Amino acid sequence: MRVTSVESTELFTGTTEQPRQVVAVELSHTPGRTVRLTVEGPGLTGTAEATAGEDGTVRAEIPVTGEDLVPGDRREITVTAADGDQVTTRTGEFTAAEPGWTMFMVSHFHYDPVWWNTQGAYTETWDVADDPAATGLPARTFDSRGQSGMSLVRAHCDLARRDPAYTFVLAEVDYLKPYWDAFPEERAFLRQLIRTGRVEIMGGTYNEPNTNLTGAEATIRNALYGDGFQRGIIGASPETAWQLDAFGHDPQFPGLMADAGVGSSSWARGPFHQWGPTLSVFGEEPRDPGRMQFPAEFDWIAPSGRGLLTAYMVNHYGAGWALDNAPALPEAEAAAYTLFQRLKQVALTRNVLLPVGGDYAPPCRWVMDIHRDWNARYVWPRFVSAIPRDFFAAVRAELEAEGRRASPQTRDMNPVYTGKDVSYIDTKQAQRYGETLLADAEAWATLASLLTGRPYPDAALDKAWRQLVYGAHHDAITGSESDQVYIDLMTGWRELHDLARSVHADATQALADQVTPGDGPDLVVFNSATWERRDVLTVDDPGLVPQGLPAVREDGRLHVVVPEVPGMGLTALPLTEGSAPGWAPGEGLTIRNEFYEVTVDPARGGGVSALRALADGGRELLRPGDIGNEIVVQEEYPRHPRFGEGPWHLTPTGTTAARGRDVTAEVRVEHSPAGSRITVTADLGLFRYTQRLTLWQGVDRLDVTTTVDGYDGADRLIRVRWPSDVRGGLPVHEVADAVIGRGFGFVEVDSERFPWTLDNPANTWFGIGSTARVAVHDDSGVLLGHRSIGVAELVYADWDIAGDLGTPLAAALVRAGVTATSTIAGGPRYGDLEVDSNLPDVRIAVGGPDRNAVVAEALGWDPAAGRELKRQLAERGVAAVWVAPRACLREEWVPGADLRDLERLPLLVVAGARPEDDAKAVDALVADLDDFTVTATAAGGGEALPPGDAWDGRSFAILNRGTPGCVITSSGDLYMSLMRSCTGWPSGIWVDPPRRTAPTARDSSSSAGRTPSSTPSSRAPATGANCGCRRRGTRTTAH
C-alpha cells in the first residue's frame, strides 16, 4: 500500500456555517480493500474511508477541520493510510482556501444573423435544408446541423420544459423576433420563463453592433429598437448589454447604454486583443489570466461620465463549452473545476461568471448534471445554472457588504480586428451616408409635421432605421461577411437610402413651400447642423444664378459657396437670370484661398509638396521634403499568418507594392469664382487613380477625393498618406460623440512577426496633436515644455484606494480625452503589446513612496524626483512631480513594444503629505484638468522632456466620409485606409449556387469601394479636444 499523491483543494464539504476543506489523496492498494485515511497537521484534522477499485487505485477526499485559518495560510500535513497492520504515510502542503465562492454557469448561444451564411439560411431549419436528398442541392458547409436561430431557441426552451431548474439567456432581436413571429404558441411559455427568472433577455440592443464603426445616433437607435421589442413586446426587463462578439467597442458605449436604462454589460473582446489574456490563437491551451492588470469585473466609464458594471469574459464567451466535450460527468466536473480555478484568480468578488455556450450552441449536455451532482457533494464552491442577473446581484451585494467599489476603467477597448475598418469599404460608406441622411430626414420631417400639419412618415423612417441598425451588426458593417451576404446587405443599405432620401426631399420641400417668396425665384438652403454654417452647396443646375454668391457649374450641377445659414434652419437665396461660369484652366501647380495654399509635384505622383496655413503666417503643415496625399499600396497575406483569419485582420507582409511618389502624374489646375482645384491623374501600374484637391472661397478646409479605377488585384491594402510637421503630438481620434487620445501604429511591418499594427477606426476625423497635456516646469518654475498625454495607466496602492480615489480621476481624465487603465502597484503593469490591445503613453501614480511601491521604485532610480516630492509636500501638503523616462516616447514605441518597465514611460506622482491627503492631491489634479493642462514640476532640468517629446502646440487632422480605418506612425505620418481586397475566408463564398462575382474581380471584396474620399484639415494652435475638428467632421457628413 502506498500514498501516491496529496493535494490541497479549494473544495468544501459540510455546511455553509461549518465548511470543511477537502484534501484529495491518491493511493495504490489491493483491489477491494478498505483503507482508513487521516490528515494531521498544526491545528488540522480529518478522517475518511475509501475502498480500492479493481485497478488497485483509490482517490479519496478527506474533509479537514482547522483552527485559526486565514485563506492563503500554508501548513505541512501528514496523510496516514491504514489497513489493519499495514500503515503508510505521505507529507504534503495544505493551503487554506476561501469558502463562499459561486460559479454562475450561464447557458447561451451566440448567433450571427449574417456572416458567411445568409439571413434566410440563419432563420430556417438547416437539418432539412441541408439534406441533398430532399433539396437536390449541395449540403451547406456548416458543422452544426439543425442549429439555425429557430432550432436553437426551440432547443433551449425544450430543455427548460424537461428540467425545471434549467436557466438560459436569449438576446438579439434578429433571431428573437423571427421566432416570436413564427411560433406564437410559444409566447406564453417564454413569458413564463422570464417571469420566473429562468430566462433573461439580454442586450438592451437590437443586435451586437460594432459601435466603433457607427455614430452615436446609430447606437442610440440600436438600444431603442432592442429595448422596444424586448421590453415593450416580450415583456422582459433587459439589464445587461450582452455584446459577446463585437470587434471592440466605442468608448461612449457604456454611457449611452446607461442612459438607455441598462446597468451592466458583459462581453469577450476589447482590452486584451480578440481572444483575451489567456489565448493568442483560438484552440490553444489557455494560459494563466494573471497578466490582466485589473479584475474581470469593473466599472466601465464613458467620456460622458456614465458607465456600467462590466463582467469581462476572460476565457471568452465560449469558455464553458469545453464542458460539452467531456465524455462523462466526472470529466465534465473536472473541466468545470479547472475553469473555476483559473477564472477566480481575476474575479473581483467570490463570484465567477462562466458563459456556457458558443457560436450556434445547443444546450450543454452536462450543465444540469453538474448543477445537481456537484452541489450535492460540495458546499463550496457552488456551480449553479444561473442567469447574469443573479451574478451581477451577487457581485453588487458583496461589494456593498464589504464597503468596496469596483475599479474604474475608461480604457479604450480597441483596436480589435483591424481589418474590419476597411474590408468591403462600401459597407462603411453606405452606413455613414445612410445614418447622416436618415437623421437629417427625420429632423426635417419632424419640423415639417409640426409646422405644416403634414402626416409624419413614421412607417418609412421606422423601416429605414431598422435597416440601419441591422447593418450595424459586427459581421455586417465590419466587412467580415461572405460575398452573398455582402450583396444581401447592400440591398438593405440601398433601401435605407431610398427611404431616407424620399422623406428628406418631401420634408424639405414642404418647409421650403412655407418660405415667403421674394420678387423672383429662390433657392432654399437647409442646414442640419445645430450651429451657423458656411459651406458649399451642390444642386442640380437650375439655369439661374444666386445673386452675389460665388458659384461654378459642372456637368449639370451647380456649386455655390453659401454664407452663414442658421443652425437647424434655412435661408432663401434669390436667383437671377444668367449662368454660372464653369471651371477655367489655370497655370502652375498651386491653388490657394484665404486659409490654405496647396502645391503638388507631378514628378512624385501628384503628391502635395507644400500645404501652407495662410491664417497662421504661412506655416508649412507638411514635413519638409516629403509629400502628402500619397497613394501607398501594401501587400497582404490572404490569411493572417499567426491567427489564420482573413478579412477582419490587417495582414501586411511588410512589402510595399507601389506608391505614388514613384510615378509621374498629369496635373490640371482650374479656377472659378467659387474656388480653385487641382486634379491629379496617374497610372500606378496596379490601377489608375484620380485625386481632386479643392479649396472653396471662405471655407477653412482642403477637400480631397481619391478615385481608384481599374483595380482587379487581390490581397492588397490601399492607403493615402499625409506626413505632418507636428512635433511632440500624439494621435487623437474622434469617436461617437467624444474625442480621445490613442497610440501610434505600425505600417511597414510583417504581421507574421508583428501581428499588431494598432490601426483604429475614427468616426469622422483623426489627427495628431493633443487631448490633454502636462506643463512640465523645473524646480525654479521655468516652463520646460508641454508633454501631450492620451492614454494613461493609473497606479494605486491597492484596489480599495483605486475604488475610492480612482473614479473621479479616471472620469476627469477621460472627459479631457485621456483614457486610463486603473491598476495597483503590486499587480502587472499595463503596456505589453503581446497582451494588451493598446499601449499607454504616461503613468500616473497616487500616493507617496511609503504607500505606493511603484512610486518607491521610480524614486529609487531618480533621487532628485524624490527630493522634489519632499519639497512640495513640505510646502503645500500635496505634490505633482514629473519623473522623466529614459528616452523619447518615439524611441520606445516600436513593433511588438513592451512598455511595462517603469523607465520606459514618464511617471506623474500625485501625493499628499499623509495618506488621508492623497484625496486632496487627486482633487487638485482633477481641478487642474479643467483647461486640459496639468502642471507638474520635474527635477533634472531639460532632461525631463527628452528630445521629441515636447509638443509644439500644433495639430493636423484628416476628416473622412466613411473611410474610418486609420493609423498614425511615430514619425507623424497619418494614413487613411481607402480599400483592400482580401481573399481569405469567407470572401468569395456563395451559399446558394451558382457563385457570382463582379465582371473584373475574383470576388466582391476585390472590387468593393471604388470611390473612397478623404479630407485633410488643420488648425493651429489647437486647444485639446476643442480644436474645431468636431464641427468640421460633422460638416463633412451633414446634408
Question: What are the tens digits of pLDDT across the range 239-263?
Answer: 999 999 999 999 999 999 999 999 9
Q: What are the structural domains of the chain?
A: 2-95 (2.60.40.10), 102-416 (3.20.110.10), 617-769+953-1037 (2.70.98.30), 772-944 (3.30.379)
Number of other CB atoms surrounding residue 533 within 10 Å? 20
Question: What are the tens digits of pLDDT across the range 791-834?
Answer: 999 999 999 999 999 999 999 999 999 999 999 999 999 999 99
Q: Which segments within 738-790 are labelled E, that is strand?
A: 738-741, 760-761, 765-769, 772-777, 783-789
pLDDT at 111: 87
pLDDT at 1006: 56
Mean pLDDT of 854-875: 96
Question: What are the tens digits of pLDDT across the range 669-688?
Answer: 999 999 999 999 999 999 99
Q: 1037 pLDDT exceeds 80? A: no
pLDDT at 1026: 39
pLDDT at 141: 40
pLDDT at 797: 98
pLDDT at 145: 46
Question: What are the tens digits of pLDDT across the range 186-219?
Answer: 999 999 999 999 999 998 999 999 999 999 999 9
What is the Cα–Cα distance from 525 to 543, expressed in whole angstroms?
17
Mean pLDDT of 736-750: 96
663 in Cβ contact with 685 (< 8 Å): yes
pLDDT at 68: 85
The DSSP line for 430-478 is HHHHHHHHHHHHHHHHHHHHHHH-PPP-HHHHHHHHHHHHHHTBTTTTT
> Quick one: what percent of the chain has pLDDT higher than 70?
93
pLDDT at 5: 94
The backbone torsions φ and ψ at residue 340, rounded to the nearest 5 degrees and listed phi first, read: -60, -45
What is the CA angle 746-751-755, rounded to 5? 75
Q: Which segments within 825-883 are labelled E, that is strand?
A: 842-846, 878-883
Q: 144 pLDDT exceeds 70? A: no
DSSP assignment, residue 916?
A: G
The DSSP line for 374-420 is HHHH-SBSEEEE--HHHHHHHHHHHHHHHT--PPEE------S-GGG
Q: Which sign, positive or negative, has the C-alpha torsion 370, 375, 380, 386?
A: positive
Q: 661 pLDDT exceeds 90? A: yes
921 in Cβ contact with 880 (< 8 Å): yes
Q: 1023 pLDDT exceeds 50? A: no
Q: Name the band, by pLDDT with cuts 50, 70 and 90, for residue 117.
A: confident
What is the Cα–Cα distance from 275 to 291, expressed in whole angstroms?
13
pLDDT at 276: 93
What is the Cα–Cα distance from 928 to 910, expressed in whole angstroms?
12
Cell numbers representing residue 119 in the block: 439571413
pLDDT at 131: 57
Looking at this protein, which amino acid is placed at residue 59? R
What is the Cα–Cα distance from 48 to 656, expressed in whole angstroms?
70
Question: What are the tens digits of pLDDT across the range 373-422?
Answer: 999 999 999 999 999 999 999 999 999 999 999 999 999 999 999 999 99
What is the Cα–Cα distance from 821 to 813, expressed in whole angstroms?
11
Global pTM reads: 0.94
Q: Name the band, by pLDDT with cuts 50, 70 and 90, for residue 142.
A: very low
pLDDT at 127: 47
The DSSP line for 304-349 is TS-EEEEEE-TT-TTGGGGGGG-SSHHHHHHHHHHHHHHHGGG-SS
pLDDT at 345: 96
Look at 173-182, 281-290, 297-306, 484-493 and tell me which has the smallest mean pLDDT.
Answer: 281-290
Cβ-proximal residues to 321 (8 Å cutoff; 6+ apart), any chain: 356, 357, 358, 361, 364
Higher pLDDT: 883 or 283? It is 883
Closest CA to 995 of 1004, 1006, 985: 1004
Question: What are the tens digits of pLDDT across the range 155-166?
Answer: 999 999 999 999
Cβ-proximal residues to 682 (8 Å cutoff; 6+ apart), any chain: 605, 606, 660, 663, 664, 665, 666, 688, 689
Strand order through the sheet with 522-527 = 522-527, 569-577, 544-546
Q: Name the band, by pLDDT with cuts 50, 70 and 90, for residue 284.
A: confident
946 preceded by cis ω (within 30°)?
Answer: no
pLDDT at 286: 85
Cβ-proximal residues to 55 (8 Å cutoff; 6+ apart), any chain: 31
pLDDT at 989: 86
Mean pLDDT of the chain: 92
pLDDT at 517: 84
DSSP assignment, residue 204?
A: S
